[in-house]
């Protein structure tokens, strides 16, 4: 997993991580999952995973540093969106997560209308 992350093969790392059963998922697993998901462009999942790693091991400076970086990236994304006039009054991370969770259902609704 670590070699795949370091080599930029993020999807391979995610696949390897997902093969670990839930009882084998500790703080380090969530940290590595956060790094792999961030590299693969899954920002929301990365932020969720790093938050979980920090909750499981709150004194680990690597986990804290990664969480700050992911949160800072999210804030920068939100600020850039607001500067472009895309302020909706809700947190973009919440909106994106909602769309991601409901995505398949929304796609089924759009198909009959040709969208």
Find the CATH number of the domain harbouring 13.
1.25.40.10
Q: Please indicate, yes or no, if residue 92 is contained in any of the structural domains.
A: no
Q: Alpha-carbon distance 2 to 13, whole Å? A: 7
The two structure tokens encoding residue 60: 């680990």
Number of domains in the chain: 1
At 1 the pLDDT is: 83
Taking the complete model, does pTM exceed 0.85, yes or no? Answer: no
Confidence band for 72, pLDDT divided at 50, 70 and 90 = confident
Mean pLDDT throughout 14-40? Answer: 96
104 domain residue, yes or no: no
Q: What would the mean pLDDT of 57-63 be, rounded to a whole number?
A: 97
In a domain, 61, yes or no: yes
Full domain range(s) for residue 81: 2-87
Whether 79 is in a domain gets the answer yes
**CB-based contacts of 73: which residues, under 8 Å, 6+ apart?**
43
Which residue, chain included where needed, has tokens 């994304």? Answer: 77
Q: What angle do CA 102, 67, 81 make, to 5 degrees?
A: 55
Q: Are the C-beta atoms of residues 49 and 70 closer than 8 Å to each other?
A: no
């Amino acid at each position: 997993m670590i070699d795949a992350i370091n080599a930029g093969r993020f999807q391979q790392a995610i696949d390897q991580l997902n093969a670990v059963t839930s009882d084998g998922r500790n703080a380090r697993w969530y940290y590595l999952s956060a790094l792999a998901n961030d590299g693969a462009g899954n920002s929301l999942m990365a932020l969720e995973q790093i938050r979980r790693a920090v909750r499981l091991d709150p004194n680990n400076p690597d986990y804290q540093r990664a969480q700050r970086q992911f949160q800072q990236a999210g804030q920068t994304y939100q600020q850039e969106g607001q500067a472009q006039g895309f302020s909706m009054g809700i947190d973009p991370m919440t909106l994106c997560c909602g769309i991601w969770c409901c995505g398949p259902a929304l796609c089924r609704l759009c198909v009959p209308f040709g969208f």
